Amino acid sequence: MHNATAPVPDKKMLIAASTGNFIEWYEFAVYGFLATIIAKNFFQLEGESELTGLILTYAAFALAFFCRPIGAMIFGRIGDRIGRKPTLIAVLLLMTSATFLIGLMPTYAVAGVAAPLLLTLLRMLQGLFAGGEFGGAVALMTELAPPGKRGRYGAWQSFTVALGLLAGAATVAILAAVLTGDQLQRWGWRVPFLLALPLGVVALWLRTQLEEPPAFAVAQHSDPAPLSVVVKAIVLGIGRMMGWSAAGYTFLVIMPSWLQTSLHASFQQALAATVLGNTGFALTILPAGRLSDRFGRRRIMLLAMVTVIVFSFPLLMLLQHPATSVWLKGLSVMLAGGVVGIIAGPGPAMLAEMFPTRVRYTGLGLAYSLSNAVFSGCAGLIITGLIARTGNVFIPAWYVTLTCIISAIAIMTLRADDHVKPLET
């Protein structure tokens, strides 16, 4: 039996399902955009350089991502057993609380070495809770999607990633505009994290009105998929996702710090580039999801991966060339974000279609979180560390190109008709 009889979801349900994802990526974006300031407040240890502090900041960033697969396993199993709705409510409450507490943390100047340790602990807890978000939301949206529209509805999850990243960039940009550098350094950085509390209250109200997909109840009476089949699908899902993870975080989150440390751009210039990149990202996600319903996930995602491979090095050359106009640089960054959006639009539906309903929350959540742990969470650490060691400012292009080549090969294994088949129970 399949989910063909599921009710058509309305926009309110889609927003409710994806709103936790918005908060998750808003906070991760804020942390990335404020990395240089957080480094000075928490990781600027005595006798160490600013670059060392930035690397330690990204190390805490990476640790949070490596807790996500654990959260995906724990909350995924709960969600596959007791339901999508109660699990999504629980992870939202826990994730919002951890984000809010970051805004209350004492700095290194106040608490000494306890400050970076406490911040890292909160980041790890936040990653643990966030690991249970993506799988449940995508499972719910795709299981309730009408026939032939899974790409469109699954794309909402990626769209809220874009909105969260843009909201994070906008919040930091506004603070940077209205506060002095000293005010932003001393207390202004706390504001974006504290804002997670009112955002979480609104999201909680929306989530309490969600409905459980009928496919979930049906699947409880079916035989579970063999473990070997699930593990194989998770590994393949990671391969298909790694280019998306690497390109997304390199172009959309890591770019500000790279521009500042490698190209000596100002904080405002780096933020402006990030806003443009995330705007391009947001504009292409939903159209790409719709196109994948018509032409298939494989064709759309493969086209985008090849585009990233071809244009990564020219993009960095344009950004570094002194004769390149500001307008051309801005357009280039926006187009880079747009190409990532074309990958991210069909991505959620592609992952959902790889797993049966009884293990969908766990399976797609693990594939997504493991890929992000390695190729997103470590992006800043890998890129910053390699640039420091080699002095090669083209490291971001090498990183993105290599991961997208592997993903393109994995995406070629997709069947052309996966997007038209009903979800497996």
Give the pLDDT score at 386: 86
Give the pLDDT score at 280: 93
**CA angle, corner 321, sides to 320 and 327, nearest 5?**
90
Is residue 368 within 8 Å of residue 226, measured between CB atoms?
no
Task: Tell me the pTM.
Answer: 0.86
Residues 6+ apart with CB under 8 A from 72: 131, 132, 134, 135, 362, 365, 366, 368, 369, 370
Determine the longest span between alpha carbons in the chain, in angstroms: 65
Residue with tokens 């959620």: 348
Distance separating alpha carbons of residues 202 and 401, to the nearest angstrom? 39
Domains of the chain by start residue, with CATH: 11-411 (1.20.1250.20)
Distance separating alpha carbons of residues 123 and 377, to the nearest angstrom? 12
Give the pLDDT score at 7: 46
Give the pLDDT score at 369: 93
Is residue 375 within 8 Å of residue 269, measured between CB atoms?
no
Helix, strand, or coil (residue 392):
coil
Residues 6+ apart with CB under 8 A from 421: 353
DSSP 148-200: T-HHHHHHHHHHHHHHHHHHHHHHHHHHHHHS-HHHIIIIITHHHHHTHHHHH
Distance separating alpha carbons of residues 70 and 187, to the nearest angstrom? 33
Is residue 389 within 8 Å of residue 321, measured between CB atoms?
no
Consecutive 10-residue averages of pLDDT for the chain (425 residues): 46 86 86 82 70 74 84 95 93 93 90 86 91 93 90 94 87 89 91 94 90 83 81 96 92 70 68 82 96 96 96 88 78 91 96 94 95 83 83 89 97 91 84
Give the pLDDT score at 46: 64
**Could you tell me the two tokens for 109?**
């100047």
**Could you tell me the two tokens for 393?**
């400012």
Distance separating alpha carbons of residues 274 and 21, to the nearest angstrom? 19
* Polymer length of the chain: 425
Residue 11 amino acid letter: K
Helix, strand, or coil (residue 393):
coil
Distance separating alpha carbons of residues 374 and 78, to the nearest angstrom? 24
Give the pLDDT score at 50: 67
Residues 6+ apart with CB under 8 A from 367: 233, 234, 237, 238, 241, 351, 354
Residue 243, judged by CB atoms within 10 A of its CB (0-12, 13-18, 19+), counts as: buried
Is residue 220 within 8 Å of residue 83, measured between CB atoms?
no
pLDDT digits (tens, 9 = 90+) for 28-65: 778 877 877 888 888 876 666 666 777 777 777 778 87
Give the pLDDT score at 267: 67
224 alpha carbon, distance to own chain's centre:
29
